[in-house]
Structure 1
Amino acid sequence: MAHLQPTHAPILNSSAQLLILPVNNAGILLDPILIRSKNLYPDNYQRYYRACRDGSLMVGSCLMHKRSREQAGLGVSSNGNQPSYIANLVISDHPYHPTRARWLTAALVDLQQQLIPLIRYQGIRRVALLARPFITSHAQNDSAQNGSAQNNAINDTELAKSIALDWHSDILPLLTHHLEDLPKLRIDIHLPKDINI
């Protein structure tokens, strides 16, 4: 049984073997941590961006990437604390659109199916999940709507609020339901500091 542990620690300092990054299938990253991960793990970003560009990355899927290790140069010394795998969890079709329950559910099912062989045959035991894109997607949407035309802003904001998921009542129970049954796994859920643990 997996152990889900909420934390406020920085995810990029984690010693996790697998990093779960919530992304969209438009290929646009707005979250500061996702932008930083783009520079830290360029091989993952290039594969993700190519899949977005050619249309093969669907909302509600998970793009698992096995990282290639550098053999020479400065990268060798920093490789010990970096993840071996990165799971790009596709939870939205645009960075300003909120996560929907059916998209998140489908992406978690896909992630779970891809994690089982990694746990069984690759010895994956520590996972880190970035939670901020789940939480701030509807907040970004609300702030973006404030700058748009008044006629559309009211309808779009009401639609976004009706679709947007709440962390405690919607997202966390879905994560728990789909990831808790994975064997011998510790999942650190990296939350923003304004969310109580």
Structure 2
Amino acid sequence: MANLQLTHASILNSRAQLLILPVNNAGVLLDPVLARAKTLYPDNYHRYHRACRDGSLNIGSCLLHKRMREQAGLGISSNGNQPSYIANLVVSNHPYHPARTRWFTTALIDLQQQMMPLIRYKGIRRVALLARPLIFDNPRDTATHQSTETNSLPLDWQTDTLPLLTTYLQDLPKLRIDVHVPKSISL
């Protein structure tokens, strides 16, 4: 059983072996943490951006990237704190559009299937998930996003996002998942 823990700590300072970053398939990163991850992990960003340009990255998928270790320069001193893998969880089709239930669910299923070999054969035990892009916190835009279809409504943290995370990630064996939430969310 996986152990999910909510935290307010910075995800970029975590000692996780796998980072999970919710992204869109347009290739544009507007969240400040995602923009910082773009500069910290350029190999991941180039692969993600190339997949977006090619049109090979579908909404509701997960692009898992094994990071290349730096062999020289200033980056070598911090290699111990950096993740070995980065999972780009595609939960939206545009940076201004919030994640939807069906996209998030299929992306979590894809992530779960890709994580099983990493847990079994690569020894992954610590995971960090950035939750801020999954939280819809702009109430004035709710009217423009409402629809008659429940799958097209933006995700709510308490009723949608957290239960989906628990449902799809709880059954992963021997894993600690730190869910990094903004300070506006109470622990």
TM-score relative to the length of structure 2: 0.94
Deviation at residue 141 of structure 1 after TM alignment: 8.2
Contact kept, 8 Å, 1:90 with 1:107, in 2: the verdict is yes
Alignment match, 1:178? 168
Structure 1 position 85, deviation (Å): 0.1
- Tell me, in whole angstroms, the C-alpha distance in 2 between the residues paired with 1:181 and 1:84: 22
Measured after TM superposition, the shift of residue 184 of structure 1 is: 0.1
Q: Which has the higher helix share?
A: 1
Aligned to 2:159: 169
Q: How does 1:30-179 map to 2 (within 5 A)?
A: 30-136=30-136, 139=138, 142=141, 156-159=144-147, 163-179=153-169
Offset at 1:139? 2.2
Q: Which runs of 4+ in 1 moved over 2 A?
A: 138-142, 156-159
Can you give the 5+ residue segments of structure 1 that lack an aligned partner in the other structure?
A: 146-153
Larger Rg: 1
Deviations, residues 12-62 of structure 1 (Å, cap 9, x unaligned): 000000000000000010000000000000000000000000000000000
What amino acid maps onto 1:41 in structure 2?
Y
Could you tell me whether the CA contact under 8 Å between 1:97 and 1:141 is conserved in 2?
Answer: no
Name the Cα RMSD after superposition. 1.9
- One-letter code of the match for 1:5? Q
Identity of aligned residues (%): 72
Q: How many residues align?
A: 185
1:12 and 1:115 map into 2 onto residues whose CA distance is 20
Instruction: Name the structure 1 match of 2:26.
Output: 26
Letter in 1 for 2:164: L
CA contact (8 A) 2:145 2:154 kept: no
User: Which residue identity is paired with 2:183?
Assistant: K
Q: CA deviation at 1:95?
A: 0.8
In 2, the alpha carbon distance for the partners of 1:141 and 1:94 equals 18
Specify the SS of the correspondent of 2:28: coil
